Structure 1
Amino acid sequence: MKMGLNGYDHWQLAEDADGIVWATLDKAGESTNSLSTAVLQELARMLDRFEAQPPRGLIFRSGKAAGFIAGADIEEFTELDTAEKGIELVARGWHLFNRLARVSYPTLALVRGHCLGGGLELALACRYLLVVDEPATRLGLPEVMLGIVPGWGGMLRLPERIGPQAALDMMLTGKTVDAQKAKRLGLADDLVPPRVMTQAAAMLVVADQARRRPALLQRVLAGPLRQLVARGARRQVARRARPEHYPAPYAIIDLWARHQGNALAAPELIDTIVRSPTARNLVRVFFLQERLKAFAKGSDFSAQRVHIVGAGVMGGDIAAWCALRGLTVTLQDQGIERIAPALQRAYAAWSRRIRDERELRRVRDRLIPDPDGHGVRQADIVIEAIFENVGAKQALLQSLEAVIRPDAVLATNTSSLRLEDLRSVLARPERLIGIHFFNPVSRMPLVEVVNAEGSDAQAIRRAIAFVRQIDRLPLPVRSAPGFLVNAVLGPYMLAAMRAVDEGLAPETVDEAMLAFGMPMGPIELVDMVGLDVAMAAGRSLANPAEEPPRCLLERFAAGQLGKKAGRGFYEYRAGKPAKASPGAVPAGLAERLLQPLLERAQQLVAEGVVADADLADAGIIFGTGFAPFTGGPLNYLRSQYA
């Protein structure tokens, strides 16, 4: 670099010998870059400066190890209490990025790590986008996850760059793409390894060649067939989200189809979206998620090896997920024939996710069948994941304690049993903690980290760090039957099955809760959990004097154990439930089914099983899928009396 360009708090500017200015965003006082008002104001000043004296080229990059730009400053969304403030926020980024897109000199975004929301909108406003080929590089417009729209040019430029169908899929789901897919889609102009990224960025800017236009079909879909694409997108969204619960995806489609992605052309829509209860609650959910992540901050523990005993659905899927996230995993059960189905499931799941054959082979090599349990002595984390039986678990834990390393974390994946009962046979009972995953492991983000009176504090801290290491959300809970999530799900599913006993069709019961906003009905949830698991959990969680629901007993006795058996309350075809029409839903059914869940959640907070109501909301949202637009069950309960 031949000279520095100073005068900014968040940007570091330097001009190299070729006349290219490198603009490095290093937001002051933060570990992650976000586009706050102050950052955008400095960018505007930067463009003013270059308007008078244009550089040969301008390259944006990050000064943070955490990635490129995480998006807009979410804290500022909480201050949008008037329509004018919402419109002002949209206008700020829309006009600034349009100005960036019109500059006469070539511009480039050098993306390494996450590039999300407003960060991707800034990158799209540049003439070129270069991605660094690393696993951490992810690009996306996830605004819909916050109940808002990508109003700073994303709805205009992403469809122009990769075609409307792929762009709408990204914007309507909030999905991100990795560096290789970004290149395949045409989102990125090129894909380079880290060692040559600066040279490649400079060469691309100096060459200043015209970008490749999207294929003719994509241009037709974005032009004459725009309304046809929009109708198809609306149908797809309607299968997943109802407009009264989640208005943002419908607004994205309308703004793209009718206003070329310019949200300022429909200011009334901005106000409806930005200040909606859904947006307010989804922003709340975002901060709840950040609070769960923060439990792992400050820990330097990093697991290398995990040993899991029990290759059933849960144990096998925990093993597969840990291997996918980079850990070496040994999986133990009574013979290779019991481990083989777990390996087959893992290989099939990985093949759907990983295109690179070399990476797929590396992941496969990390999951090691270990019927004799040799890996337990080297493991940093040892997880017991066998069936829910106190005696069987005690015997296994006792044998594991005798051979594991003194500093290893000894954990159980029990879903309903108390740690106090399981650890009573151990020489060092304080070592045992709970690391409770949810089914399906690859999709459920929450993991309960369970402690009991006198639990080893270091083991708890290491377990929390391990959960974040494998990209899951740790929720500390106290040992109690069912902990938090299963303790609230039990009464909810019980109420649903009692309704079936009363003569309501399973489809009707499920429809009541789907209409409320749940991602899955409670009866289908019982099928997914497994009727055998529901029976076992019911025995430990329910009133012993209370008979199980008749509909559950009958199906359990007939061997109809749910989705895994191909039949439970529903018959399953290609993994999907065959449902009849739900018919009319009785008034007040949803409220009746929710009531025991809400009461139990309040009780668990009062008893200290979870530290406070916000954490209870976080756990129930991320552990059950409880309608996120409500902000969580206890937040929903408060809103009913506001």
Structure 2
Amino acid sequence: MPTSYRHLHLATDSHQVLWVTLEVQGEVSNLLTSDVLDELQHVANVARAQRPRGLILSSGKPSGFIAGIDLKRFSEFNTSAAALAFSTQGQRVCQLFADLPFPTLALIDGFCVGGGLELALALKYRVASNRPATRLGLPEVKLGIHPGFGGSVRSVATLGIFKAMKLMLSGELISAAQARAIGLVDACVDPEQLRDTSLHTLLKAPRYRRPPWYLRILNVFTPARQLIGLKLRHDLAQHTPEAHYPAPYALLQLWETHGGNRNAMFAAEAASVAALVTSPTAQQLVRVFFLQNRLKALGNPANCSAQHVHIVGAGTMGSDIAAWCTQRGLQVSVQNHTADTHDANIATADVIIEAITENRAAKQQLFIALERQAKPDALLLSNTSSIPIEDIASGLREPQRLLGLHFCSPLFNMPLVEIAYDAHAYDHSLLLRVLAFARRLDKLPLPLQSSPGFLVTRLLMPYLLEGIRLQQQGIPAAIIDQAARDFGMQLGPLELADTIGLDVCQHIGDTLARKSQLDVPLTLYHKVKAGKLGKKSGEGFYRYRNGKILQTERATWNGNLALLQSKLLAPLRQEARECLVQKIVEDADLLDAAMIFGAGFPAFRGSILHDPQV
């Protein structure tokens, strides 16, 4: 073997086991590129010739095993031919390792995802550490593609069709313990036992575990694959429209057609990925991936020393925040809105979050009381969604202490938190602490200048009110909401209004209208006056029973759907441009991130500003 590689370190131990350590130069994580694959191919060929007793592939990076392909080079795949060549190269390297005539093992500590897991599946055994940072999965569908290094074949052969498809179609990452439970890894051990267990497993070379015989038969017979595919396709369509996200459907199609023939499946997998890579959906989803990473990089959870979070306001949002913080291992205390009552937890809390009703005066009085009782270095945060932070902080001795921490709703579904600051009076060191706290909560922080409605609420309200205005003009509510969902929005504007509460919508609309050109439709006032507040009262734009919309007669409308979608989203687009002019957020990319991660704007469209259909 050559004395050195650029990205690999080789060593043979006393048992004649070859240890191959991957440490990609110039990267924080191990990422697969053509150069890295070339070196892996060379090692596999030389190892075949030299016949060690076994081979263990591990990582020299603290972040994990392999974090998939290098998405920074995704733009290089500007033709299907380039993508096909890369996928074929990855398949070839994986097959070389799969064909080695001696035991092989992947030692997994940290992330093992995408192409990294596909390579691990090509080895005979996999041993993973049980530390929380160890996560395994095939998340390619979230990038608009599917496994392309043979993972669609080997995952089914290892797990059986149902477990494999669940892993691939969801794109979710699982823990090492979960991976052990489904048969994805052979052992899940403490980090300090990882090397010894890996070596012991390799030398013992236990019999390869395969899925039950009946699952293997299902994979062989075409009629069985077609029936299973029909069921999986139906389930998938309930939440992932094929017109918007074609990759999971392409994966199902290639398995239904070629699942019984490994060689044909490999070829079809590479061709399918090559076609998907150049699609607008994949290009946009990769852009969204980098937007997400940009937000993550804004705060370092390791810099957060907070242990005790005190929440004032025990309503829906306050309770949700408390539950979320508790799940992240923080000590949490909660009190009702009683600004004049001393609570011992206020004096000991590291972070105090206000989550009371949207009333400026009430929030002002509360924070005056909190400032007197809180520790000097405690973070004072408001979950307001519409009131400028400087207005709430106007009565404080140190107004720069107060920052906004708006959890986008629903909190358990939306990863974004808006961190609002007064551009004329804020402490940058405090802002950094809040960014770190947000990352400690596994949220995506977005710093922005304080203004009425901040960013997400300010952008959503014109969309919501335009939907109400169109309904006021005679277009059925169901038609309006369906048009929005067909565009890709998670909720139509009228569904969203009913969910928020029409009284809340009216209050926010009035608040924003005082400092903008926003026009609140009369229909909204009439419904609130009549007590029709939406889901919480049982009736709004729809009627509800136990929180579910009651089915009504099928609505009919003969208008132009594309024009309706354009009308719905035009006010949102205009408001987005105005926010950029006012520098509410740093740039258009962060504005897009706010809409995608905080408002449910369809990720496959990428940008409210750039999409030609808006």
Q: Residue 390 of structure 2 aligns to a residue in which SS? A: helix
> How big is each residue's C-alpha offset from its partner over 1:215-266, in whole Å with a ceiling of 9 and x where there is no partner?
2342233233111111111112222222222111111111222133835337
8 A Cα contact 2:45 2:96, kept in partner? no
**Quick one: which of 151, 154, 157 aligns to 2:154?**
157
Q: Residue 568 of structure 1 aligns to a residue in which SS? A: coil
One-letter identity of the residue aligned with 1:489: L
- C-alpha spacing 1:57/1:411, structure 2 compared with 1 (3 Å): same
In the other structure, the counterpart of 1:212 is 209
8 A Cα contact 1:80 1:274, kept in partner? yes
One-letter identity of the residue aligned with 1:51: R
In the other structure, the counterpart of 2:582 is 607
Name the count of aligned residue pairs: 601
Root-mean-square deviation (Å): 2.2
The alpha-carbon deviation at position 405 of structure 1 amounts to 1.7
Unpaired runs of 5+ in structure 1?
Answer: 336-370
In the other structure, the counterpart of 2:400 is 430
- 2:167 & 2:498 partners in 1: Cα distance? 31
- C-alpha spacing 1:561/1:167, structure 2 compared with 1 (3 Å): farther
- C-alpha spacing 1:476/1:97, structure 2 compared with 1 (3 Å): same
One-letter identity of the residue aligned with 2:384: T
- 2:540 & 2:555 partners in 1: Cα distance? 17
Matched, 1:481 2:475: no
Matched, 1:248 2:247: yes
- C-alpha spacing 1:486/1:133, structure 2 compared with 1 (3 Å): same
- C-alpha spacing 1:299/1:176, structure 2 compared with 1 (3 Å): closer
- 2:22 & 2:305 partners in 1: Cα distance? 29
1:253-264 aligned at under 5 Å gives the runs 253-260=252-259, 262=265, 264=267
One-letter identity of the residue aligned with 1:205: L
The alpha-carbon deviation at position 577 of structure 1 amounts to 3.1
Deviates more, 1:445-454 or 1:255-264: 255-264
8 A Cα contact 2:435 2:445, kept in partner? yes
- C-alpha spacing 1:560/1:179, structure 2 compared with 1 (3 Å): farther
In the other structure, the counterpart of 1:557 is 529
One-letter identity of the residue aligned with 2:591: A
**Quick one: which of 103, 116, 121 aligns to 1:119?**
116
One-letter identity of the residue aligned with 1:618: A
In the other structure, the counterpart of 1:403 is 373
The alpha-carbon deviation at position 583 of structure 1 amounts to 3.5
- 2:589 & 2:186 partners in 1: Cα distance? 43
One-letter identity of the residue aligned with 2:163: A
Matched, 1:90 2:83: no
> How big is each residue's C-alpha offset from its partner over 1:73-117, in whole Å with a ceiling of 9 and x where there is no partner?
111211111121011111111111122111111111122222111
- C-alpha spacing 1:79/1:582, structure 2 compared with 1 (3 Å): farther
8 A Cα contact 1:5 1:12, kept in partner? no
> How big is each residue's C-alpha offset from its partner over 1:167-201, in whole Å with a ceiling of 9 and x where there is no partner?
21221221122122211111121221223111111
- 1:508 & 1:521 partners in 2: Cα distance? 9
One-letter identity of the residue aligned with 2:256: A
**Quick one: which of 27, 30, 43 aligns to 1:46?**
43
In the other structure, the counterpart of 2:96 is 99
- C-alpha spacing 1:205/1:598, structure 2 compared with 1 (3 Å): same
8 A Cα contact 2:158 2:184, kept in partner? yes
Q: Residue 556 of structure 1 aligns to a residue in which SS? A: helix
Q: Residue 139 of structure 1 aligns to a residue in which SS? A: strand
**Quick one: which of 338, 343, 351 aligns to 1:373?**
343
8 A Cα contact 2:87 2:270, kept in partner? no
Deviates more, 1:221-230 or 1:557-566: 557-566
- 1:171 & 1:298 partners in 2: Cα distance? 29
- C-alpha spacing 1:270/1:31, structure 2 compared with 1 (3 Å): closer
Q: Residue 149 of structure 2 aligns to a residue in which SS? A: coil
8 A Cα contact 1:245 1:517, kept in partner? yes
- 1:280 & 1:323 partners in 2: Cα distance? 37
The alpha-carbon deviation at position 568 of structure 1 amounts to 3.4
- 1:566 & 1:51 partners in 2: Cα distance? 70
Deviates more, 1:625-634 or 1:63-72: 63-72
1:182-221 aligned at under 5 Å gives the runs 182-221=179-218
8 A Cα contact 1:5 1:13, kept in partner? no
- 2:269 & 2:159 partners in 1: Cα distance? 25
In the other structure, the counterpart of 1:176 is 173
The alpha-carbon deviation at position 331 of structure 1 amounts to 1.6
In the other structure, the counterpart of 2:132 is 135
- 1:409 & 1:322 partners in 2: Cα distance? 15
Deviates more, 1:20-29 or 1:550-559: 550-559
1:180-579 aligned at under 5 Å gives the runs 180-224=177-221, 225-260=224-259, 262=265, 264-265=267-268, 269-297=272-300, 300-333=303-336, 373-452=343-422, 453-542=424-513, 548-573=520-545, 575-579=547-551
Q: Residue 303 of structure 2 aligns to a residue in which SS? A: coil
TM (normalized to structure 2)? 0.93
> How big is each residue's C-alpha offset from its partner over 1:352-373, in whole Å with a ceiling of 9 and x where there is no partner?
xxxxxxxxxxxxxxxxxxx963
8 A Cα contact 2:63 2:110, kept in partner? yes
Deviates more, 1:422-431 or 1:189-198: 189-198
> How big is each residue's C-alpha offset from its partner over 1:41-76, in whole Å with a ceiling of 9 and x where there is no partner?
111111122011122111122222222221111112
The alpha-carbon deviation at position 437 of structure 1 amounts to 0.4
- 2:38 & 2:329 partners in 1: Cα distance? 40
8 A Cα contact 2:87 2:274, kept in partner? no
8 A Cα contact 2:459 2:575, kept in partner? yes
Matched, 1:619 2:594: yes
8 A Cα contact 2:509 2:518, kept in partner? no
- 1:11 & 1:266 partners in 2: Cα distance? 28
- C-alpha spacing 1:86/1:269, structure 2 compared with 1 (3 Å): same
Q: Residue 412 of structure 2 aligns to a residue in which SS? A: coil
Q: Residue 78 of structure 1 aligns to a residue in which SS? A: helix
One-letter identity of the residue aligned with 1:504: I
One-letter identity of the residue aligned with 1:577: I
- State the identity %: 43
One-letter identity of the residue aligned with 2:176: A
One-letter identity of the residue aligned with 1:471: D
> How big is each residue's C-alpha offset from its partner over 1:440-493, in whole Å with a ceiling of 9 and x where there is no partner?
212111111111122111111111111111111111111011111110100000
In the other structure, the counterpart of 1:7 is 4
- C-alpha spacing 1:123/1:585, structure 2 compared with 1 (3 Å): farther
Q: Residue 32 of structure 2 aligns to a residue in which SS? A: coil
- 1:266 & 1:122 partners in 2: Cα distance? 15
8 A Cα contact 1:446 1:473, kept in partner? yes
One-letter identity of the residue aligned with 1:187: L
**Quick one: which of 540, 559, 578 aligns to 1:586?**
559
Q: Residue 635 of structure 1 aligns to a residue in which SS? A: coil
Matched, 1:23 2:26: no
8 A Cα contact 1:255 1:263, kept in partner? no
- C-alpha spacing 1:516/1:395, structure 2 compared with 1 (3 Å): same
The alpha-carbon deviation at position 548 of structure 1 amounts to 3.7
Deviates more, 1:186-195 or 1:72-81: 186-195
- C-alpha spacing 1:170/1:299, structure 2 compared with 1 (3 Å): closer
8 A Cα contact 1:299 1:462, kept in partner? no
Q: Residue 415 of structure 1 aligns to a residue in which SS? A: coil
